[in-house]
Amino acid sequence: MTVAFPEGFLWGAATAAYQVEGAAAEDGRCESIWDVFSRQPGRIANGDTGDVAADHYHLLGADLALMSGLNLNAYRFSVSWPRIVDDDGAINRKGLDFYERLVDGLLERGIRPFLTLYHWDLPQRLENRGGWADRDTAQHFADYTQIAHETLGDRVHDWTTLNEPYCAALLGYGAGVHAPGRREPRAAAAAVHHLLLAHGSARSVIGDRNSVGITLNLYPVDPADPNDQVDVDAARRVDGLQNRIFLDPVLRGAYPSDVLGDLEALGFTDHIKPGDLELIGAPLDTLGVNYYTGHHVTGRPGGHTAEWIGSEHVHAVPRGLPTTAMGWEELPEGLFRVLNRLHTEYPRLPVHITENGAAYDDVPDAHGYVEDHARRWYLERHLRAVETAIGAGVDVRGYFAWSLLDNFEWAEGYGKRFGVAHVDFDTFVRTPKLSGRWYATVARANALPE
């Protein structure tokens, strides 16, 4: 039976600036925390860096043509803060010119641009002053937002302030596995609030002139033993730090009281000033949801060590499900659970699935073509979960496959491929995979096949 999606549903793909652009030292771009982090020995698999990435900066025309060929009617990308603001805080016109060409090229092809202001590439000059652990960084972000919006706000309707503040704060400042690579729990706690303050400040700058949202990576969190109160409390703590510490202030204007208790020893509330939560909780036009897997946790010894700041002695327990090349369990019904939770527990607003996809061990043929049946099946099962959520009343407006291209996959370097188009990192030729060709037929039909 064919599964049709609502009229006007958006079919897109997503990327992030540092993961695809390259041209790291060209046309006035300054250093970001990921430039510095990736050059530190042992940080990135195989010693890779994002200096060249997928060379999107030079191959913009090819990538625009690729999007058209995949029948996309939306494209989510991020703007690189260090590309458009120099180390003196002045506008870098050449950097802005690139994004103007990108946006104009999308509009010419009938592709709706979804712009993300922050996908983790903080200028290194600001990290040198404390980074997201410093409250002043939120004001710098507002200033940067003003520059980007004044230039592109007449053509870009859809604006996302932050991508996955969980990763930026807790993986970057707490676990140390993302840039800037700090293992400082108190700094991580401060970064959570300051990132959300930056979101609220950017939302205020944009005002009602365009649609504004934030993108959160959300997960269902299950106790390994639902009858064991130790496991139940472990799940509560992880849910608090993964989901509710971001959802609640953004959608309800307040942090969850139990999470405040969990973070009391880290001085979290010391960073909350009068008026902050009103700014952070200002009404949004949409919510972006990134979804990849779920968490299955225990508070008992055993399982895999997992680092959730403020949730010590919590471990991830495998469920025996199939996994992707990232080691993430495939849990498509978890996407329905996330969407249904938003619908039943939080104030309702339109939702876009801003990232969903999987890495597998792709093997291209001599022409660069990849028969990635596993990825195509992964996408279909998650899209069916989206359709089920829509049928249950969730206002899902669009879906963005992660990712348009194979790219620099953060700490994994180039060894993990998420693209629906294969990239030969020697020649930079792009070749749609089987999953990309399948996705193009779905986008054209606005429906899943029988």
| 418-436: pLDDT as tens digits | 999 999 999 999 999 999 9
Confidence of residue 302 (pLDDT cuts 50, 70, 90): confident
pLDDT in tens, 336-377: 999 999 999 999 999 999 999 999 999 999 999 999 999 999
- Measuring CA to CA, how many Å separate 420 from each of 103, 216, 262, 321, 376? 21, 22, 40, 23, 9
Q: Does the pLDDT value for residue 381 go beyond 80?
A: yes
Nearest in space to 77 (alpha carbons), one of 10, 145, 151, 156? 156
- Per-residue pLDDT at 3: 85
Is residue 306 very low, low, confident or very high in pLDDT (cuts 50, 70, 90)?
low
Residue among 164, 380, 387, 409 flagged as catalytic: 164
DSSP assignment, residue 266? G
For the chain, domain boundaries: 3-444
Q: Give mean pLDDT, residues 155-164.
A: 98
Strands 158-163, 211-217: pairing is parallel
Task: Evaluate if residue 382 carries a pLDDT over 80.
Answer: yes
Is pTM beyond 0.85? Reply is yes
Q: What is the mean pLDDT of residues 304-325?
A: 81
Whether residue 164 lies in the annotated active site: yes
Angular region, 317: left φ>0, alpha ψ -120 to 50, beta rest: beta
Question: Which candidate, 21, 73, 16, places its Cα nearest to that of 51?
Answer: 21
> What does 3-25 look like in DSSP terms, one character per residue?
EEPPTT-EEEEE--HHHH---TT
pLDDT > 70: percent of the chain: 98
**DSSP percent split of the chain into helix, strand, coil, nearest 5:** 40, 15, 40
**Span 104-116, pLDDT tens digits:** 999 999 999 999 9
**pLDDT band per the 50, 70, 90 thresholds, residue 133:** very high
Say what the alpha-carbon torsion angle 393, 342, 338, 441 is, to the nearest 10 degrees.
Answer: 50
Can you spell out the DSSP letters for 320-388? S--B-TTSPBP-HHHHHHHHHHHHHHS----EEEEEE---B-----TTS----HHHHHHHHHHHHHHHH
pLDDT at 160: 99
Average pLDDT across the chain, whole number = 96
Q: What is the pLDDT of residues 271-290, one digit of tens each?
A: 999 999 999 999 999 999 99
Q: Is the pLDDT of residue 170 over 80?
A: yes
Q: Please state the rounded mean pLDDT for residues 234-244.
A: 96
Catalytic residue selected from 355, 380, 387, 409: 355
The pLDDT of 262-267, averaged and rounded, is 95
| pLDDT band, residue 405 (cuts 50/70/90) | very high
Peptide bond into 180 cis (omega under 30): yes
Average pLDDT over residues 134-145: 98
Residues 6+ apart with CB under 8 A from 275: none
- Assess whether pLDDT exceeds 70 at residue 308: no
Q: Specify which residues 76 forms β-bridges with.
A: 14, 114
Type of residue numbered 57: Y
Residues 222-246, mean pLDDT to the nearest whole number: 96
- pLDDT given at position 301: 83
What is the rounded average pLDDT of the residues 244-258? 98
The whole-number pLDDT of residue 310 equals: 60
Indicate the burial class of 88 (C-beta count within 10 angstroms; 0-12, 13-18, 19 or more): exposed
Q: What is the pLDDT of residue 305?
A: 65
Q: What is the pLDDT of residue 450?
A: 77
Phi and psi for 98 in degrees, rounded to 5?
A: -60, -45
Which DSSP category does 218 fall into?
Answer: -
The confidence score (pLDDT) of residue 2 equals 76
Identity of the amino acid at 203: R
Provide the CATH topology of domain 3-444: TIM Barrel (3.20.20)
* DSSP character at residue 244: I
Q: Rounded mean pLDDT of 21-47?
A: 98
Average pLDDT over residues 82-102: 97
CA 355 vs CA 107, 120, 335, 361, 418: distances in Å = 21, 15, 11, 20, 11
Residue 303 confidence (pLDDT) above 80? no
Q: Which two tokens stand for residue 441?
A: 């037929």
